[in-house]
Amino acid sequence: MLREIPIFEKKNVLVTGGAGFLGSHLCERLLKEANVICMDDLSNSNIQNIDHLLQYPDFEFIKYDVNKPIDLDDFPELAKFKVRFQGVQEIYHLACPTSPKNFEKLKLHSLWANSNAMTATLDLAVKYKAKYVFASSSVVYGPPTPARKVFKETDEGVVNHLSPRGCYDEGKRFAETCVDTYRQVYGLDGKIARVFTTYGPRMKLRDGLLIPDFITDALEGRDLVIYGDENLEQSLCFVSDMIDGLVRLMSTGPDVSVVNLGHDQVMKMKDVAQKIIEMTGSTSSVKFEEPMVFITSKGLPDLTRAKEQLDWIPLVRLEDGLRRTADYAMASKEMVGLNHT
């Protein structure tokens, strides 16, 4: 076993995919209590998501491909965090493309994020005896059926590993196996967050992600497009709730390993689209198009374990979350492509 590594003034935390949607919000939250190392190659992220964090001395952005082995001693900018002596105490592995429109182009990136990047970050966790949280996905359960719409952590998933989405769906399953294997072999305090659909400010636009595209189209007077039929439904968790769940999961002891995080109420996406039209005062309509490979109906999370082990439930109402997301969109010229002069 590794020797205990002393913590100096603050713990050091590494966030992969830190310039992405979830990652940027997580970095922001962690700055309250830690030195934050944000690692991202920007292949599917946006540096603007973390622009406001670059001014803080306890934050450091490193452009790096985490599919390669990671040696933090190679980055002189981390000397201020005494990484050579202190290492890192926590690792959140969030890096993985989630782009519906660019899914085909990023298939290998998805595969690598759930394989090469797993061993790179897990090896780093073993080296520093760090706690580890992996952002998995509800897709590991497979699609819902009439007999099975609510998923417990103990449920066995049914995934077609040779489907067009196999690199992501089966990739997440393999990644979970990596975490559990490192727990068994090295005694790593590794944890798996099964993340259900999450929305909020900083989601990519024009990328096939329904909520930000709905808001943008409503603001610009275009039809709101649902890639599927009127029965397409999802649960929707606001980003601040999801980040709170991830941080709470990291703070648990080694006996906690796999936890569902998401909202346990389902919404038809046509109803969500209509809410956004009404909220923005838009004259837009809702139309339906052929489904994308990356967009499918998903089941609901059983949150019993999250409530009992994390003392966590999602708190933000859908109407409030949509309003906050819309307000952000309206305040950001680059996000919605509007001229607010």
| 189: helix, strand or coil | coil
Q: Is the dihedral of CA 225, 105, 45, 242 positive or negative?
A: positive
- With beta carbons less than 8 A apart as the criterion, state whether 151 and 301 touch: yes
Of 92, 132, 141, 168, the catalytic one is 168
Whether 92 is a known active-site residue: answer: no
135: CB partners within 8 A, 6+ apart = 17, 22, 92, 93, 94, 96, 193, 195, 246
How far is Cα 236 from Cα 321, in angstroms, rounded to an integer? 9
Q: Are 216 and 337 in contact (CB under 8 A)?
A: yes
Phi, psi of 89 (to 5 degrees): -100, -25
Residues 194 and 258: beta-carbon distance below 8 Å: yes
Query: What distance in Å separates the CA atoms of residue 194 and residue 291, rounded to the nearest whole number?
Result: 24
Alpha-carbon span 239 to 28, nearest angstrom:
12
CA angle 39, 249, 187 (to 5 degrees): 80
Whole-angstrom distance, CA of residue 4 vs CA of residue 250 = 18
- Positions annotated as catalytic residues are 168
